[in-house]
Every structure is written in structure tokens, then in C-alpha cells.
Amino acid sequence: MAAKHDVVAPAVVSNGANGHHQRSSSKRTIPAVMLNSGHRMPVVGLGVWRMEKTAIRGLIHAAIREGYRHFDCAAKYQNEAEVGDALAEAFEAGLVKREDLFITTKLWNSDHGHVIEACKDSLKKLKLDYLDLYLIHFPVATRHTEIGTTASVIGEDGVLDMDTTVSLEATWRAMEELVHMGLVRSIGISNYGVFLTRDCLAYAKIKPAVNQMEIHPYFQRDSLVKFCQKHGICVTAHTPLGGSTANTKLFGSLSCLDDPVIKELADKYGKTPAQLVLRWGLQKKTAVIPKTSKVERLRENLEALDFDISEEDMEEIKAIDRNCRSNQPAKFWGIDVYS
């Protein structure tokens, strides 16, 4: 389907008010945003990066019962097969129907020259016959390794082995082909800044429906968010909790959940810091995909839909921006690809 240019940002409102009403007995209906592809995406999803393989089945089924309909996966997370098993079981048990779910997965860097095969491999693992959204995980092609291996080969110089022969335009053409083949409903980009997003808009025959990027109160990225929304690209905030303790452990990042302003405002609204931060993301008209491995937090995170932060308090949160990326791939790649 051709991209619509007049669709801008999600109108995020309280639970149900402009939502996509789904046929299920789950606890709540999560509002959805209309993408420029003509498909709807629930504004809260569950990220599955760093989810233990053995816990995935229980978490996905619990999430579906809580009302989650949007799952954010990636070939790189190396757990698509476990997600696929959990989904297949959920369909079979009548917990949810395929058409009521929104499943995203992502093309890994080493597969930019092999988009169709990589997507088919993800579909096979996820046990699906189409994806709702397929994203280019990062705007960088790296040395190809066998499909499914999602390696990040490091050269002898200790730096990520990048492939300078594959352009992002060529990768995008193949992404468009996936839509024509009926394997993918919407296509998008991830971790693209203003320069690359603008360029993508110039060569895209099918415009990117989504740009998924790190956003939280310590890394607010107002200019990029506004640029995407102005051009009809829905912004999804990955790492919407700032990665919390997981990124403190992995990257040494400072967690916005510990910020005194966040804690004070959370108290004021009778919410947890995580709920406040997710609500802030929703009020910035971004979709949020928090990850949790704790069943009780699945509901806690969805309850971000149930209140409003005043304009004055949104301004207070604006003031704590540190322009500070919490997820730092340079740790693994020997190069700061954002430099």
C-alpha cells in the first residue's frame, strides 16, 4: 500500500478513547496510531531484547492477557524462534488472533545485501506468514555472515567490519520489495538521525512508516522527533525507560528512573518513575516499547496509559534532558557509529 503523507504523529489519549478496539477478553485495549502505510500500530508494545529464552513463553502469554498486542523483536536478539513458539501456542489456544497482533522484527546489519532471505528467515522463526513491521535495525551494512547468525565481525584493527559496497538506498529497495511480495505490511528505519531520515524520504517509493530510536527523558531528541512527525513517520521510542538497571550494568549509563525530578513527579501523580517516564513518551506522541522480564511490571508499564502529565510538568521533564545516549554499541563495535 502506498504511504500516506498526511498522517503525522499518533494522537495518544487515555485508554480506549481513540483506540483500535480488539476482539478479545484481555484486560484492556491499547490505543493505536495509524501509520502512513494505512496500518495501525498499538502505541505501547513489549520489547523482547535480553529476554531469557526460557521465560519468553510465559511473558508473552501474560502480556497478551494483560492486553499487549505489539511485540518488538529483532533477528539480532536471537530469540525469534522462542517468540514464534509462544505466538503459535497463543493462536492455537485461542488467546489471540494473528490479525489482532502487531509484530515487528528487524534486519541485522550483516544482512543488508540479503534482505529478502533475512526476512524469510525471521518469518520462519517467528512462524508467521507476514510481519506487521520490518525495520532496518541500524543504518550500517557490515560484513555478511550466514543468514541467522547476525554477527558483528570485528576486523583486525579492532573495529566493526563495515561493508562500504551496499548503499542504504539499495537496502531500502529490497525492503520495498518485501511489501510488494506481501511478506511485510509496513517498513521502517531505526537509529536514523535527521540526515539519513531525510535522505531516505528522498529515495523512498514507499516512505518509512516508523523510525525507531532511543528516546527517554535523558535523551529527548526533540528536533529528530519533530522532523519525523512532520514528514508522517511515526516515532517509536526504544529504550523508553532509559534501559534502567540493565543499561547501567551493560553500558554504565545513568538511569533517568533515578532522577530526583522524575521521582518527585512520580510521587505527585501517585505513579512509579517507570510509569511517569512512559507517560512522558506517550505525550510526546511517540510509541513506547518497554521491556520487562517481570510479569507484575507488564501491567505497571501499561498503566502509563491511565493518566495525564500537565503541560507544566512536561516542561519540568524537558529541563532534565542530558542529551545522553544510554545504549552504546561502541562498547562492542570498537567505533562510535554515531560520531
Minimum CB distance to ligand NAP, residue 78 (Å): 13
**Which residues 163-202 are close enough to bind ligand NAP by CB under 6 A?**
190-191
Q: Are the beta carbons of 235 and 228 closer than 8 angstroms?
A: yes
Minimum CB distance to ligand NAP, residue 11 (Å): 22
Alpha-carbon span 170 to 143, nearest angstrom: 16
Q: Which of 212, 220, 253, 286 binds ligand NAP (CB under 6 A)?
A: 212
**Quick check: 284 binds ligand NAP (CB under 6 A)?**
no
Q: Are the beta carbons of 5 and 232 closer than 8 angstroms?
A: yes
The contact mask relative to ligand NAP for 10-49 (x = CB under 6 A, - = no) is -------------------------------------xxx
Listed ranges 3-11, 227-235, 241-249, 311-319: which one lies at the site for ligand NAP (CB under 6 A): 241-249
The set of residues, in sequence order, having a beta carbon less than 8 Å from that of 156 and lying 6+ positions away, is none
The contact mask relative to ligand NAP for 70-89 (x = CB under 6 A, - = no) is --x-----------------
Q: Which residues are catalytic?
A: 77
Q: Which of 241, 256, 266, 305 binds ligand NAP (CB under 6 A)?
A: 241
Kindly state the DSSP code that residue 239 receives in the 8-state scheme. S
Alpha-carbon span 207 to 173, nearest angstrom: 11
Q: Are the beta carbons of 217 and 196 closer than 8 angstroms?
A: no
**Quick check: 294 binds ligand NAP (CB under 6 A)?**
yes
The set of residues, in sequence order, having a beta carbon less than 8 Å from that of 83 and lying 6+ positions away, is 48, 56, 60, 71, 73, 125, 126
φ, ψ for residue 219 (rounded to 5)? -150, 75
Nearest to 239 by CA among 47, 43, 73: 47
Known binding-site positions: 137
Residues within the interface to ligand NAP (CB under 6 A): 47-49, 72, 137, 190-191, 212, 238-246, 257, 272, 274, 289-294, 297, 300-301, 327
Going by the annotation, the residues of the binding site for substrate are: 137
